[in-house]
Amino acid sequence: MNQAAFTDLHPRLFHMAAEGVWPSIQTHGLLSTTAVLDLAGVDGDERVRLEQCRRLENATLVTDVGEFILRDQKPLNEAKLERCLVDMTVAEWLRMLNGKVFLWPTRERCEQLLSAKAYRGHTHTIIEFDTARLLERQDVTVSPINSGAVLYDPPRRGSFTFTAIDRFPEDRYRKRGRRKMIAEVAVDYAIPDAAESATRVWQAGVDEWVRIN
């Protein structure tokens, strides 16, 4: 798939963040967990716990440069993850995921996450990006699976899961006879100019999206 075809299919990309974090994103950019830990100067055992172990609850870091919320990783069942990993350990997989900023390729997929039990009843910040503009500024990779969920019968995964857009084998992934398209979009480390790349920012719950920027 080339970038033009990807942009036609997914003209907007969506990131779901905690409520109230937009001012911080305007200042620091949209940061991965690894980027937050670097900015906050976290190292040693605390860094290993936050970067290479499953987070069962949100983690809040209060630092000299601001407050940051690291999302929980409840859908990552470690036992099932270990069984479906091909060429990585659980710690390596978690560290890789924590080094990425994740975007949904459709509003529908973002709404599915909003309606999930863990997030239902809460308000979140949704950042909407213009895909073409983001591709001009960032190197983007894509995945055919939701890399952060390991439930029921999870597909195998490993270092091959994320690929450049032009290496995504469009016709390779099929589920129940239907072509399975891109499930997830990722940018390594950070989107430092997220405030310039974003087209809209929403305060959103399951039933209502209110534009705030």
List the domains of the chain with CATH numbers.
3-30+77-211 (3.20.170.20)
| Cβ 84 vs Cβ 155: under 8 Å | yes
What is the average pLDDT across 110-139? 91
Which pLDDT belongs to residue 206?
Answer: 79
Residue 169 vs residues 7, 161, 179, 200: alpha-carbon distances, Å: 16, 12, 11, 31
Query: Does residue 176 register a pLDDT over 50?
Result: no
Integer Cα distance of 55 and 49 in angstroms: 8
Which pLDDT belongs to residue 152?
Answer: 80
Which pLDDT belongs to residue 117?
Answer: 77
Which pLDDT belongs to residue 173?
Answer: 47
Residue 69: Cβ within 10 Å count: 16
Condensed to tens digits (0 to 9), the pLDDT of residues 37-78 reads 999 999 999 999 999 999 999 899 988 888 999 989 988 989
Condensed to tens digits (0 to 9), the pLDDT of residues 70-83 reads 989 988 989 999 99
Condensed to tens digits (0 to 9), the pLDDT of residues 89-103 reads 999 999 999 999 999
Condensed to tens digits (0 to 9), the pLDDT of residues 107-120 reads 999 999 888 877 88
- DSSP codes, the chain: --HHHHHHH-SEEEEEEETT-HHHHHHH-EE-HHHHHHHHT--HHHHHHHHSS--SS-EEEEETTEEEEEPP-TTB-HHHHHHHBSSS-HHHHHHHHHTEEEEBSSHHHHHHHHTSTTTTTS-EEEEEEEHHHHHHHS-EEEESS-TT-B-SSPPPBSTTSSEEGGG--TTT-EETTEE----EEEEESEETTHHHHEEEEEEE-SS-EEE--
Which pLDDT belongs to residue 153?
Answer: 82
Query: Does residue 2 register a pLDDT over 60?
Result: yes
Which pLDDT belongs to residue 53?
Answer: 95
Closest CA to 187 of 110, 134, 132: 134
Percent of the chain residues topping a pLDDT of 70? 95
Residue 12 vs residues 81, 82, 101, 120, 154: alpha-carbon distances, Å: 30, 33, 16, 23, 27
The pLDDT mean for the chain works out to: 91
Query: Does residue 179 register a pLDDT over 60?
Result: no
| Cα torsion through 124, 130, 132, 138, rounded to 10 | -40
Residue 95: Cβ within 10 Å count: 17
What is the average pLDDT across 127-144? 96
Query: Does residue 143 register a pLDDT over 60?
Result: yes
Which pLDDT belongs to residue 170?
Answer: 63
| Cβ 124 vs Cβ 205: under 8 Å | yes
The C-alpha angle with vertex 181 and arms to 34 and 155, in degrees rounded to 5, equals: 65
